[in-house]
Amino acid sequence: MSEITYQQLNPPQRILLGPGPSNIHPRVQMAMLAPMVGHLDPYFISIMEDTKELLRKTFRTENKLTFPVSGTGSAGMEAGFCNFVEPGDVVVIGANGFFGDRMAEMARRYGAKVVQLTTEWGRIIEPEAIETALKAEKKVKLVALVHAETSTGVLQPLEEASKLAKQYEALLLVDSVTSLGGHELAVDDCGIDICYSGTQKCLSCPPGLAPFTANEAALSVLEKRTGPVQSWYLDLSLLSNYWGSSRFYHHTAPISMVYALHEALAVIRDEGLEARIQRHLNHGAALQAGLEAMGLPLHAQEGHRLSTLTSVGIPEGVDDVRVRQNLLNKWNIEIGGGLGELKGRIWRIGLMGQSSTAENVLIVLSALEKQLAEEGYSIDPGAGVSAAAKGLGQ
Ligand SMILES: Cc1ncc(COP(=O)(O)O)c(C=O)c1O
């Protein structure tokens, strides 16, 4: 039998400007190398406690039930639906992009009657649409919205939706996968009942955990369930026994990932959440000014654009895949293509966490200008970089 040879692991150092993961902080990288301890070791328990407290600060909540669910952002989404939705419940879901659609699909699998609010991908869900749905249905259990729709670049306003959910006695569930740690998000002040995120975007940590929080109103709904939660792994009551004071074994926490999240949240605390959000705003605005100066159309609705992820139209005659491949192979830069109905129509440029730097704004604009010129798309040379540099105060 011939011997199988494996390559030694040696991944390239990329500039990650796609829809996630983002580049990670050296402190987070170091945390992943820290020695293994048992998952019930007093040291690890102290790290679990710190992580919960740091997560509360980042979510801006006092919610007791706040911890990272093991699994990626979709595990957070699934935990939201499998715990709070029972067969026959009516849920209203903002489906203005790929991840809103995923929410609707999950809710259906848990037996919900889904009222799917759709709009053109790139626009927000208007509060009027939410109110109409709440009025039309007798009793809505939950309203679910994606705060930062990574597939379209839209920032969904939450205040009106929150008021409406309260008025109609429905829970508000929010996906903050692309906003936590990058956009203004105050779970308690905004009246969000259930919120989940992912580690690999604005928290700048590897993918693998889903920060999760739920308030007392949500927990009282959970207590009144008539049947058991269909997912054993994501059952919040079981998980809270492990993450709470009883430490009752549920599953072995991914220790190194919890170290990494702990450190990523500590990095955020050291930078300051407000300063971090402002950094994302400045760099997002500079990138968008640069793209517009290059004559490229921004896809998301004006006034509701994410600073963490910019969606931009691909000009006629330009080869989507070739440009992205050239960015990767010649410039070491990853950007994202469109998802679902926006495939081939937009690029998605992420500036999240560690990746949100002035240098990255300037380099991605320079690289795009060069690659677009190779595609035969004519641009006023340097226009994008100049506009961005002006926005960056350079
Ligand atoms: C808004 C949003 N929700 C949910 C997810 C799913 O997260 P994951 O891919 O980590 O499972 C993503 C991933 O990109 C996302 O952008």
Q: State the distance from the centre of ligand 1 to the C-alpha of 293, rounded, in angstroms.
A: 30
Each residue's pLDDT tens digit, 289-337: 999 999 999 999 999 999 999 999 999 999 999 999 999 999 999 999 9
Pocket test for ligand 1, best of 16, 22, 74 (most atoms within 8 A of CB): 74
Residue count (the chain): 394
Residue 124's DSSP bridge partners are: none
Residues 35, 47: Cα–Cα separation, whole Å: 13
**Ligand 1 site, residue 180, Cβ cutoff 6 A:** no
**Nearest atom in ligand 1 to 20's CA:** 14
Expressed in angstroms and rounded, the spacing between residue 99 Cα and the centre of ligand 1 is 7
Average confidence score pLDDT of the chain:
97
Say yes or no: CB of residue 20 within 6 Å of ligand 1.
yes
Average pLDDT, stretch 190-219? Answer: 98
The pLDDT tens digits for 336-376 are: 999 999 999 999 999 999 999 999 999 999 999 999 999 99
pLDDT digits (tens, 9 = 90+) for 78-98: 999 999 999 999 999 999 999
Residue 300: per-residue pLDDT = 98
Identify the pLDDT of residue 4: 81
Residue 55: the pLDDT is 98
The CATH 3.40.640.10 portion of the chain extends over: 27-270
pLDDT tens-digit map of 157-178: 999 999 999 999 999 999 999 9
Cβ of 150 below 6 Å from ligand 1: yes
Q: Which CATH class is domain 27-270?
A: alpha beta
- Work out which ligand 1 atom sits closest to the CA atom of 150: 16
Q: If you measure from the C-alpha of residue 244 to the centroid of ligand 1, how many angstroms do you get, rounded to a whole number?
A: 26
User: Which residues make Cβ contacts (< 8 Å) with residue 122, sequence separation at least 6?
Assistant: 96, 152, 153, 154, 299, 300, 301, 311, 342
- Distance from the CA of 177 to the center of ligand 1, in angstroms? 6
User: Strand ranges (DSSP E) for 96-200?
Assistant: 113-118, 142-146, 148-149, 154-155, 171-175, 194-196
Which pLDDT score, from 0 to 100, does residue 1 have? 65
Contact (CB, 8 A) for 212 and 68: yes
Q: How far apart are CA 205 and CA 230, in angstroms?
A: 29
What integer pLDDT is reported at residue 145 of this predicted model? 98
Spell out the CATH class of 273-391. alpha beta
Could you report the per-residue pLDDT of 101-135, keeping only the tens digit for each?
Answer: 999 999 999 999 999 999 999 999 999 999 999 99
Tokens (6 digits) for 185 = 């998000």
Q: Does residue 56 register a pLDDT over 80? A: yes
Inform me whether the pLDDT recorded for 259 exceeds 80.
Answer: yes
Band (pLDDT 50/70/90 cuts) for residue 2 is: confident
Cβ 74 under 6 angstroms from ligand 1: yes
Does the CB atom of residue 178 touch ligand 1 within 6 A?
yes
Ligand 1 site, residue 127, Cβ cutoff 6 A: no
Residues of the chain with CATH 3.90.1150.10: 273-391
Distance 19 CA to ligand 1 centre (A): 9
Which atom of ligand 1 lies nearest, measured to the CA of 148?
A: 1
What mean pLDDT do residues 150-161 have? Answer: 98
Predicted pLDDT at 138: 83
Q: Is the pLDDT of residue 193 over 70?
A: yes
